[in-house]
Amino acid sequence: MALIEEHIKTGNWLFKYRSYLPILMFILYFIGLYQEQTSPLFQSTNWIIFCYCISTLGQIIRILTIAKVPTGTSGRNTKKQRATSVNKLGIYSTVRHPLYLGNYFMWLGMFMLIPILWVQVLFSLIYWIYYERIMIAEENFLQNKFGNDYSDWAEKVPAFIPSFKNYKKNPANYNMRNIIRREYTSLSAMILLFLILIQLNNGIAFNDWEINPQIKWIFIVTAIIYLLLRLLKKNTKLFR
């Protein structure tokens, strides 16, 4: 089997399980946690805020990506590749895989809670190796389905590092229902994971397992909002 064919086959398999990589990556997080507890940045309020801003940047990229895309594209499907058209406007005129770019920053912010460089470098390397295969498989699918329409666009737009020289505005309106329907899970998970990691850091590093009252109430409110939105999505037509 040619190397590119092997990457495509591997990428299609990884595509089905791409939501589980960050869970396995937390092994790296806790290795770093047990080795780095003395940095003045560790558990510093300003550093935590900075890390959260990095993750929020990733969430913003995701929102900008899905806010104007047609139905049937940029989805959360895991069983197989699918696309009804080639997205070329807006953020897709600057980078070919904006959702994976957004995911990278979301997770990077969390791993930066461990202020040690090798943790972020190793995380970035593993993330790239993992998602590079997925991107190769996706691009092979799009090339086969859309032919020159895809390849002409791909020649001008970088895969992962954005370039704004060929930016083309998307005239479509922002679809707030679509944003809430598709992103309430990732936004809620990001907030809840941040809170959990901050508490775990205190417990493991300083043996301080007392739950911070502010963290507790932010956690409860976020969880309630998540459950309400999930109920509305599953049982009403509000976000359809």
> Whole-prediction pTM value?
0.88
Q: So what's the pLDDT on residue 141?
A: 87
Please identify every stretch of the chain with a pLDDT value under 50, giving residue numbers as ranges: 78
The per-residue DSSP string of the chain comes to --HHHHHHHHHHHHHHTGGGHHHHHHHHHHHHHHH----TTTT-HHHHHHHHHHHHHHHHHHHHHHSSPPTTSS----SS---SS---SGGGGT-S-HHHHHHHHHHHHHHTTS--HHHHHHHHHHHHHHHHHHHHHHHHHHHHHHTHHHHHHHHHS-SSS---TT-----SPP-HHHHHHHHHHHHHHHHHHHHHHHHHHHHHHH---PPPHHHHHHHHHHHHHHHHHHHHHHH-STT-
Q: So what's the pLDDT on residue 1?
A: 54
Q: So what's the pLDDT on residue 82?
A: 58
Q: So what's the pLDDT on residue 176?
A: 82
Q: So what's the pLDDT on residue 34?
A: 84
Q: So what's the pLDDT on residue 8?
A: 75
119-159 per-position pLDDT tens digit: 999 999 999 988 888 888 888 888 888 888 888 898 999 98
Q: So what's the pLDDT on residue 80?
A: 55
Q: So what's the pLDDT on residue 70?
A: 66
Q: So what's the pLDDT on residue 18?
A: 72
The alpha carbon of 107 is separated from its chain's Cα centroid by a whole number of angstroms, namely 7
Q: So what's the pLDDT on residue 61?
A: 95
